[in-house]
Amino acid sequence: VTAASATAITLDEVLDLFYSLKAPYRNKAVFVMNDATIKAIRKLKDGNGQYLWQPSIQAGTPDTILNRPLYTSSYVPTIEAGAKTVVFGDFSYYWVADRQGRVFKRLNE
């Protein structure tokens, strides 16, 4: 989600993000956001004042939004105008390669 506002996020923005991912990739997709964004989403209420999202209360079960798991990362930006504040995708084939610099060793034989 690219935040339209510097202080808020809307459920419409989350829904737009969810449906921007093609259906086959949504099956294993997860949400990633920081704690401040999660707090903002948890505060969203419907017309009757009821919270729109309730986190999981079952031990060992991740929180979900739109039936997709939600994970926290301090590396995702906080809500600011124009910032990418929520990541949503299927990361099952995502790899991180930690490469080291080249090392040369001189052999005197």
pLDDT tens for each residue of 29-66: 999 999 999 898 888 888 888 887 877 778 888 888 88
Question: What is the structure's pLDDT at 98?
Answer: 78
C-alpha triplet 27, 64, 61: angle, nearest 5°: 100
CA distance 37 to 26: 21
Computed on alpha carbons and rounded to an integer, the radius of gyration of the chain in Å comes to 19
Residue 19's pLDDT band, with cuts at 50, 70 and 90, is very high
Which of 2-16, 30-44, 93-107 shows the lowest mean pLDDT across its residues?
A: 2-16
Question: What is the structure's pLDDT at 18?
Answer: 93
CB distance 12 to 53 below 8 Å: no
Q: What is the dihedral of CA 50, 53, 56, 62, to 10 degrees?
A: -170
Distance of CA 75 to the CA centre of its chain: 10
